[in-house]
Amino acid sequence: MSASFQPRYPRHTQIRGADLAEQRSAASDAQVGLFEVLRKRHACRSFEPKPVPHDLLNKIVYAAHRAPTAGNAAYRFIVVVKDPQVLQQIKLVSPGFFGDCTVAIFVCTDVDLARTCGQQVFEEMTRFDAGAAAENVILAAYALGLAGTFIKSYNEAAVSRILGLPSHCRTDLLVSIGYPAESGEKPLKKKKGAKETYLDKYGQNWSSNLGEKV
């Protein structure tokens, strides 16, 4: 190799010190933002009568679809309900639907498609995957200044008819979304034993300060 030879690297590998510092700062901010959202998340059932802008709903839907599915199968889909009349119809058949949210997001499953992925996927994984999508919806909502909660106490057959779902599809979870009311309920504290965590084996304590602010 000649002494005058200067190796040339692809442009995308040449990261300047200032750029690297900026990337590290952004990563740090993202970490703080994530844990702040986790800290703020709680079940909210009191909302302001204010519509949620479509661009925010797009971000929430994006977050829902970022959740995994077993084998990357496409059996999960989302239904966003904004129409006040449809929301009212759903509330009439949903004992657990409290408050007047302006958006309801249903996480649904194409049952026929899920069955083609195997019995375990159909019976178990679809439920896990629905929960993962619903959690993404809630976290995205809180990150955007919104709030909400999970709802499963509703008449499945009635809700399916209201949403116009075909017979081979079902709803798994409903997430109510909206702007939290200023006079809303305070977050409930975790009950004793709700944060139990063990290291390597059951009964071996993880940490005495688990749950402290990170």
Confidence band of 7 (pLDDT split at 50, 70, 90): very low
d(CA 75, CA 123): 13
Look up the pTM and report it: 0.76
Q: How much is the pLDDT for 65?
A: 96
Superfamily of domain 40-178: NADH Oxidase (3.40.109.10)
d(CA 1, CA 15): 25
Q: How much is the pLDDT for 2?
A: 46
List strand residue ranges (DSSP E) for the chain, in order: 76-81, 103-110, 147-151, 169-178
| Closest to 76 in 3D by CA, of 34, 36, 131, 27 | 131
More confident residue, 48 or 213: 48
Q: Where are the domains of the chain?
A: 40-178
| Closest to 142 in 3D by CA, of 33, 2, 4, 66 | 33
Lowest mean pLDDT across 7-11, 20-24, 100-104, 205-209: 7-11
Q: How much is the pLDDT for 21?
A: 53
Assess whether pLDDT exceeds 60 at residue 179: yes
Give percent above pLDDT 70 in the chain.
76
**Mean pLDDT rounded to a whole number for the chain:** 81
DSSP string, 43-82: B---B-S-PPPHHHHHHHHHHHHTS--GGG---EEEEEE-
Render pLDDT for 80-133 as a digit per residue (tens, 0 to 9): 999 999 999 999 999 988 888 999 999 999 999 998 888 888 888 989 999 999
Assess whether pLDDT exceeds 90 at residue 203: no
